[in-house]
Chain A
C-alpha cells in the first residue's frame, strides 16, 4: 500500500551533499515506498536545503531505513541528546 504518510518540520544545521556542505532548513519524514532501500516500506528522511523554493530541485540529503533501523536510530539520537552532558550544552 501507499501510505501517503508524510510529515515535515523545520530544522537548522548543515548537511553534506555531493557538492559539499549546505544549510538545511526542513526535514520531510515519511513511511512509504522507498526509492532504493530493499524493503516494501521505509522510513525516509529528506533534509532539504534552507531557502529552497517550490518548483525547483532543492539540494537534499536522503535516508531510507527499514522500520527497525529507523526506530533504533531515533532512540539512539534521543539517548545522546538526553545525556547529562548534552543537556547541559544544548
Chain B
C-alpha cells in the first residue's frame, strides 16, 4: 500500500476551494485542433496535471464530472474528446456513435491526442511539471498504451479491457495488444479492476501482473470483490460504492506519490 504523500494536494488541503472548468481547444494528433474539457484549481499552484481518458460512450457528462473531481483535489485536469474529429460540435452520444461506425479511434491518433493534452498541462504557468494519465473502460486500455509509449509520470488503468488481446481482437484501429509493449513501460502503473469483470477478467489481470513483474516495473494492481466493470460509474447499474471509494483513495495515494513536485 502506498501512503499518500503529505505534500500532495488533497480535498482536505487547507486552501481556497475553487475550480475553473471550461471547454478548451488543444492541439492533438497530427496538429489537429480538438475539443477538450479543462478543470483546474484556482490559486497559484504549482499543480500537477492529470489527463482523463473517457470511456467508450465518449466525452460525456459523467467523464466531465470525474475531470472536475481531479481539480477539486488539486490537479489541473484535461479530458480530450477523442471522438471530436468524427462529429465536430455534435453531442457526445452522436460523436461516440460516429466514431464507432468508423471503426473506433485509432490507437496512434488517440495517443497523439493524449500527448497533446500532456503537453498542454506541462506548459501551464502554474504546473509543477508532473502529469499523470487515468482512463476508464476503453480509456483504461489507452492508459496502458500511454504508460508504454508517452512521456508521463504516472498512470491509472481503470478496468481497461483488451490490454490482453487475442489476434482476432486486434484491428486496423487497434493493431497491438498493449501487454506486448510492457517492456517499454516508463510510467508507474496503478490498475483497478472488478473481480467479476470478464474483460479484463481475473485471468487477464494475472497475466498483466506476471508481465509487469517480469519486466521489473513499478506497479500496483487491485481487484475488488463484488464489483465488475465500470464500478466507478455513479450513473450506471455497475456502480459499486465500496469499490469506488477505495479506488479513489488508491488514486489519490498513487498520484500523490508520483506527481508531487520533486
Residues of chain A touching chain B, judged by Cβ–Cβ distance below 8 Å, are 1-4, 6, 8, 26, 28, 30, 32-36, 38-40, 46, 48, 54-58, 60, 62
Contact = CB atoms under 8 A, between A and B. Distances in A.
A40 B199 contact: no
B138 A2 contact: yes
Interface residues of B, number: 37
B89 to A, nearest CB: 7
B56 to A, nearest CB: 5
A1 B87 contact: no
Contacts of B96: 35
A35 B90 CA distance: 14
Given A2-B137, A40-B238, A62-B93, A28 B56 contact: no
Given A2-B138, A57-B88, A57-B94, A35 B100 contact: no
A57 B89 contact: yes
Interface of B: 55-58, 60, 85-90, 92-98, 100-102, 104, 137-138, 161-162, 169, 197-200, 228-230, 236-238
B81 to A, nearest CB: 13
Contacts of B228: 40
Contacts of B200: 1
A1 B199 CA distance: 5
Q: Interface on chain A toward B: helix, strand, loop, or mixed SS?
A: loop
Contacts of B89: 57
Contacts of A2: 55-56, 137-138, 161-162, 199, 229
A1 B87 CA distance: 25
Nearest to B93: A35
B87 A33 contact: no
B230 A33 contact: yes
22 contacts: A1-B197, A1-B199, A2-B162, A2-B229, A4-B162, A8-B101, A26-B101, A33-B137, A35-B58, A39-B237, A40-B229, A55-B86, A55-B88, A56-B88, A57-B86, A57-B89, A57-B94, A58-B87, A58-B94, A60-B94, A60-B97, A62-B97
Nearest to B102: A54
A36 B60 CA distance: 11
Contact of B56 (A26, A33, A46, A54): A33
A35 B98 contact: no
Which 6 A-B pairs rank lowest in CB-CB distance, beginning with the nearest? Answer: A57-B90, A1-B199, A57-B87, A35-B93, A28-B101, A2-B161
